[in-house]
Each structure stands twice: as structure tokens, then as C-alpha cells.
Amino acid sequence: MTEITITSPLDMHLHLRQGDMLRLTTPLSADFFAGGVIMPNLIEPVDSVDRLNTYHSEIQALCKDKVFEPYMTLFFKQYKKAELEQVKDRIIGIKLYPAGITTQSENGVSDFTTIEETVSAMEELQIPLLVHGESNGFVMDREQEFLSVYQTLAENFPDLHIIMEHITTADSVEFMERYDNVSATVTLHHLMITLDDVIGDLMRPDLFCKPIAKTQEDRSALRNAVFSGHPKLMFGSDSAPHPRHKKECIGCAAGVFTAPVALPLLAQIFDEAGSLDQLQNFVSTSACQRYQLTPPQKTIRLQQKPWTVPDFYGDVTPFYAGKTIGWSVVRT
């Protein structure tokens, strides 16, 4: 049976949520990954040292018997340099959301001319800037329209590490390549689906997310770059669970819950592309190099043995629910 071993897989973009949802999601990531970049878009955003410490302790308590490093982020707002100095060693970066662009981003940035002072302090202190890069234009053009903001940031702050989160378009891949200080994360679902899968047949709330899945050409550009082992592309699942009543309703919340299926499905699609030798790079090495991380040592064995994804984890429908994946994690 074909088997591969991955050392210290990392999920560089992860929503764990709070309360019961946090208790459900944390082990599903912490069992498989050596670390994850924890998103700060809680109902009350993680935008102070106190909230950061509380949230970090809650996560730590849920993975105390596991090898898993929660890499914490702060929610972008205007911070003074002194505040950032105080918190710098406890975060991996600061996540910027344009106001109202996605789940719980109401407190995000509505005027990009106001961010300069904070971003400049981040550059000085070498705190990475993680960005949800979408405008509020036509839904299929939002990522493209945001590239001018990325360009201004990349050029004005050449020593700032900017991470374009969950890129979905060929243009974003091309843009990312042009600037040394820019990296990007790519999700599993954007490597697998296009808009057709979301709304081309029966409408699929479980596949609805922000940014919305794009065209076949866009997906091909992402796949080509990822499967060829691009050194600036990192795996970030953007696993974003919502309870069924928030998905199966009028006003469906954006988010695809991929954490429990991420590594087996990545193995499957890398294998199908003849690129299994690049999986380690995508799920760990690129991130370690770009963020200069030394993650906890953890070994995950994946084997070509089919398993069927449950219909639900708690009250959440996972990506690939009820379908069979050709690869599974070897439980030790």
C-alpha cells in the first residue's frame, strides 16, 4: 500500500471559533497538524492582549495532550507601536479584514488611508500582515480589484511580510510572484472546486465561501503553482465551520469546513497530479521558510486506503461529506 510521511504539517489559516464549536474543532486540527494559524474573527474580535491571552489559553487547554502549536493572530485595527511591542512575541501576525467583507468582519478596515501608522510599526517590528484581499465590488472581481491595495502595501512596505490569504485567481498567483515580500496561502477547496460546483447544479451551501470559488482557468493556475512546489505558496485550509442552521437557511454563512479531511484529500489530489513529492513543501516547508518557523516535531503517515467522510461532525457538515477519499491518516 502506498504510504507517505509528512513532517510537521501546518495549517496556515484556520478558524476554530469559540465555546462548543471550539471544543469540536480543536482536536480535529490538533490531531493531524503540528500547528495552525488561528484566525481572530470571533464575535468579539481578538484585538487586545487580554482577548489574545484568553483565547490562547482556551485553545491550549483543549490540546494539552497533543502536539499542536496554535499560532495566534490579532485582528487588525489601529495599534500603537508600544502595544505591538508588548504583544509581538505572542503572535505570528495580524489579520486584516476589509470591513464587512466576510464572517464577523464588521470591525475591519473601511478606509485604507488610515492604516499606514500601524502597518509601518508592523514593518519595523517584523510582524507579518495577513490579508483577506477582497474589494466590495462584483463578487467574481473582488480579489482582482483588491490587487491595487496589495501593490501599494508591497511597494510602500518592502520589509513587511504580506500574506495574501486564500488566493483563488490566476492573477493573484501572478501578482504574488512579482514581490519578494509577498506570499500566499491556498485552501484545499479552491484547489478542488469552481463556481460551477457551488451554484452550477443544485445550490451547495457547504461549498459557499469567501472568496467564492472561481473559474476552471483560475483553479488550473492555482493547481499548477501548488503542484510544482511554489516556494511562496503555503497551505491554509480556511476551514470555517458553521452550524447547519447558519448554512441551510436564507442568508447562508460563508465557510467550508475542511479540517477533518484536509490532509487525506491533499494527498489524493497531489497523488493524482503526480506531485506527492511536493506535499511536504506545501503543507510545511514553505511556511517554515516564509515565516521562519520551527514547528513542533510531529510525524503524520498517510496511506492509500479509502475511508468515507461522515455526514456530520457535531452539527457541522464537512467538505466531502458522505464521499470516499482514497487516502487516510494512519492512526497510531
Q: Which residues bind to Zn ion, rule: CB under 5 A?
A: 238
Beta carbon nearer to Zn ion, 206 or 238: 238
In the list 95, 142, 190, 210, the residue contacting ligand DOR (rule: CB under 6 A) is 210
Q: Which does 221 bind (CB under 5 to 8 A by kind): Zn ion, ligand DOR, none?
A: none
User: Residue with CB nearest Zn ion?
Assistant: 238
Count residues near ligand DOR (CB under 6 A). 11
- Torsion 193-170-224-258 (CA) sign: negative
Q: How far apart are CA 61 and CA 207, in angstroms?
A: 31
Q: If DSSP codes are grouped into helix, strand and coil, which group holds residue 73?
A: strand
Q: How far apart are CA 315 and CA 289, in angstroms?
A: 37
CA distances from residue 325 to 49, 269, 290, 306 in whole angstroms, order as listed: 41, 10, 30, 5
Beta carbon nearer to ligand DOR, 18 or 299: 18
238 catalytic residue (yes or no): yes
Q: How far apart are CA 185 and CA 287, in angstroms?
A: 9
Q: What grid cell was written down for 308?
A: 468515507
Beta carbon nearer to Zn ion, 47 or 238: 238
Instruction: Name the catalytic one among 31, 65, 238, 277.
Output: 238
In the list 8, 10, 12, 15, the residue contacting ligand DOR (rule: CB under 6 A) is 15
In the list 255, 260, 295, 318, the residue contacting ligand DOR (rule: CB under 6 A) is 255
Q: What grid cell was written down for 214?
A: 472561481
Residue 45 found at the interface with ligand DOR (CB under 6 A): no
Beta carbon nearer to ligand DOR, 13 or 298: 13
Inter-axis angle of helices 170-178 and 142-156, nearest 10: 10
Residue with cell 471559533: 17
Q: How far apart are CA 210 and CA 126, in angstroms?
A: 28
Residue 209 found at the interface with ligand DOR (CB under 6 A): yes
In whole angstroms, the minimum distance from the beta carbon of 130 to Zn ion comes to 9
Q: How far apart are CA 10 and CA 37, in angstroms?
A: 8
- Torsion 275-196-102-321 (CA) sign: negative
Q: Which does 209 bind (CB under 5 to 8 A by kind): ligand DOR, Zn ion, none?
A: ligand DOR
Q: Contact, 275 vs 227, CB < 8 A? A: yes
Could you tell me which residues come within 8 angstroms of residue 29 by beta carbon, excluding any fewer than 6 positions away? 11, 14, 16, 36, 68, 239, 259
Beta carbon nearer to Zn ion, 134 or 238: 238
At residue 187's C-alpha, the angle toward residues 183 and 188, to 5°, is 140
Residue 183 found at the interface with ligand DOR (CB under 6 A): no
Q: Which does 102 bind (CB under 5 to 8 A by kind): ligand DOR, Zn ion, none?
A: ligand DOR
Q: How far apart are CA 277 and CA 138, in angstroms?
A: 38
Beta carbon nearer to Zn ion, 131 or 302: 131
In the list 254, 259, 263, 293, the residue contacting ligand DOR (rule: CB under 6 A) is 254
Residue 290 found at the interface with ligand DOR (CB under 6 A): no
Q: How far apart are CA 25 and CA 212, in angstroms?
A: 23
What track of x and - describes contact with ligand DOR for positions 91 through 120 (by CB under 6 A)? -----------xx-----------------
Q: Which does 210 bind (CB under 5 to 8 A by kind): Zn ion, ligand DOR, none?
A: ligand DOR
Q: What grid cell was written down for 235?
A: 497551505
Residue 187 found at the interface with ligand DOR (CB under 6 A): no
Q: Which does 41 bind (CB under 5 to 8 A by kind): ligand DOR, Zn ion, none?
A: ligand DOR
Q: Which does 190 bind (CB under 5 to 8 A by kind): ligand DOR, Zn ion, none?
A: none
Residues known to be catalytic: 238
Sites of contact with ligand DOR (CB under 6 A): 15, 41, 102-103, 132, 209-210, 238, 240, 254-255
